Amino acid sequence: MEGAGTVSDRRVLLIVGGGIAAYKCLELVRLLRGRGIAVRPVLTEAGSRFVTPLSLAALCEDRVHTDLFSLTDEAEMGHIRLSRSADLIVVAPATADLMARAAAGLANDLATTLLLATDTPVLMVPAMNVRMWNHPATQRNLTTLRADGVRFVGPEVGDMACGETGPGRMAEPAAICEAILEALSPAHGPLAGRRAIVTAGPTAEPIDPVRVLTNRSSGKQGFAIAGALAALGAEVVLVAGPVSEPTPAGVRRVDVETAREMLAACEAALPADIAVCVAAVADWRPAEVSAGKTKKVAGTAPPEIQLVENPDILATLSRRADRPALVVGFAAETETVEAHAQAKLERKGCDWIVANDVSRPGVMGGTANTVSIVSAAGIERWEEAPKTEVAARLAARIAAALDGGPA
């Protein structure tokens, strides 16, 4: 069975929520065990009304964890260790209530405590009444969870136990199993065997040992792109300026401070198939860095800082003889966004420019982005979306282009 060798030593922590679809989890466990994946079950109180701890334990061949305050549980395996004991946490069914509590960061039962106490990737499988799914509150929670890096499979559209029809049905066990296999083994993704370099965050250019020239870039979009490329199987080197974002799963991170360090780290990561330059590189740096802290001297004029131009990382990578097959730049603009992006495409010699309008409130440091993809083929305008969704779409677009699709 192809792929079984790479995932057979993997462990899934399965949180079973309370919903009529919970019965499908028993079949899911059977499928996962058949692929050699160990499943450790957690049953919420509501979940235990739909499936019995006994049937779950028997299929998983493991004890069922149910109660946050069980002393024997804490003695045997605390909830922190429990959440770290898995390669993937799966929540199925993810009810509207579980999604809401997870999105709010609550920790009022074992399931939500595990979700809050972990940096293990999470896959949620929603199942609920169609009106509950479509309610703005649930959609808001979905956006929040996605922005937090949670992946989703389903819900499907169809007839539901409550007699209504629409989106809300839990995905079938086979589809959930496929999504789990993909999450556990990105080496089978469409970018498997491809190498990618992503720059992200600001650079910080020293003035003296305590002062720097920098900017407000949060690194969120670049980090999300690095994670999305890795999720499709790419081997990703993320060259990051000083930011506090967590490193996405499966990504090799190189921390740098200055533009020159960022360029050197990118060049050291070559050869690559893909380069995505998202970093807000400082265009200039102080010509001289004073060895000691510049002191304020009463009665004298403020010091003048002479600036020199930094290397352009995007242009340098685009023009190298061993340039990556696909070089993507970003353009943060406040006016005539697409015209500037077209000009930048030519000036920098890259293949695509992802133009984003930073004049919109909340883009810098925020979680959403409205972008257009500008290439020789024309302009594609994308709807406003969370940065994680923009990243996933861009990664899929990159995979399609390298596969011979539209460049």
Catalytic residues: 162
| Pick 48 or 316: Cβ nearer ligand CTP | 316
**Is residue 228 involved in binding ligand CTP (CB under 6 A)?**
no
Binding mask 371-390 for ligand CTP (x = CB under 6 A): --------------------
Name which of residues 61 to 100 contact ligand CTP (CB under 6 A). Answer: none
**Token pair 């209530």 is at which residue?**
97
Residues between 342 and 371 that touch ligand CTP (CB under 6 A): 344
**Partner residues linked to 86 by β-bridges:** none
In angstroms, give the least distance from the CB of 283 to ligand CTP: 5
3-state SS, residue 143: helix
CB 158 within 8 Å of CB 196: no
Q: Which of 49, 21, 35 is nearest to 171 (CA)?
A: 21
**What's the token pair of residue 69?**
């305050």
Per rule CB under 6 A, is residue 223 in the interface with ligand CTP? Answer: no
Q: Which of 347, 328, 351, 334 is nearest to 278 (CA)?
A: 328
Out of 12, 88, 281, 363, the only residue in the binding site for ligand CTP (CB under 6 A) is 281
Is 277 a binding residue for ligand CTP by CB under 6 A? The answer is yes
Q: Measured between alpha carbons, how far is 77 from 71 in angstroms, rounded to an integer?
A: 10
Closest CB 58 distance from ligand CTP, rounded Å: 54
The DSSP string of 267-289 is HHT-S-SEEEE--B--SEEES--
* DSSP line for 79-136: HHHHHHT-SEEEEEEE-HHHHHHHHHT--SSHHHHHHHT--S-EEEEE---HHHHHSH
Sole window of 81-89, 240-248, 272-280, 376-384 interacting with ligand CTP (rule: CB under 6 A): 272-280
16 and 55 Cβ atoms separated by less than 8 Å: no
Candidates 172, 257, 273, 283: give the one binding ligand CTP (CB under 6 A): 283
* Rounded alpha-carbon distances, angstroms, from residue 124 to 14, 151, 152, 155, 188: 10, 6, 5, 10, 21
Minimum distance from residue 331 beta carbon to ligand CTP (Å): 5
Q: Which stretch binds ligand CTP (CB under 6 A): 189-197, 226-234, 290-298, 328-336?
A: 328-336
* Per-residue interface string for the shown chain with ligand CTP, residues 140-179, x marking contact by CB under 6 A: ----------------------------------------
**Minimum CB distance to ligand CTP, residue 207 (Å):** 18
- Which of positions 198-217 make contact with ligand CTP (CB under 6 A)? 199
In 227-325, beta strands by DSSP E: 235-240, 251-255, 274-277, 284-286, 307-309
Q: Is 261 in the site for ligand CTP (CB under 6 A)?
A: no
Q: Single out the residue of 279, 374, 390, 394 in contact with ligand CTP (rule: CB under 6 A).
A: 279
Stretch that binds ligand CTP, among 24-32, 105-113, 225-233, 310-318 (CB under 6 A): 310-318
20, 103, 123, 403 from 137: Cα distances, Å? 21, 11, 20, 39
Contact status: 310 vs ligand CTP (CB under 6 A): yes
Q: How far apart, in whole angstroms, are the C-alpha atoms of residue 407 and residue 404?
A: 8
Q: Which of 329, 352, 387, 389 binds ligand CTP (CB under 6 A)?
A: 329
**Which of 108, 111, 124 has the alpha carbon at shortest distance from 64?**
111
Q: Binding residues for ligand CTP, per CB under 6 A?
A: 199, 259, 277-279, 281, 283, 310, 312-314, 329-332, 344
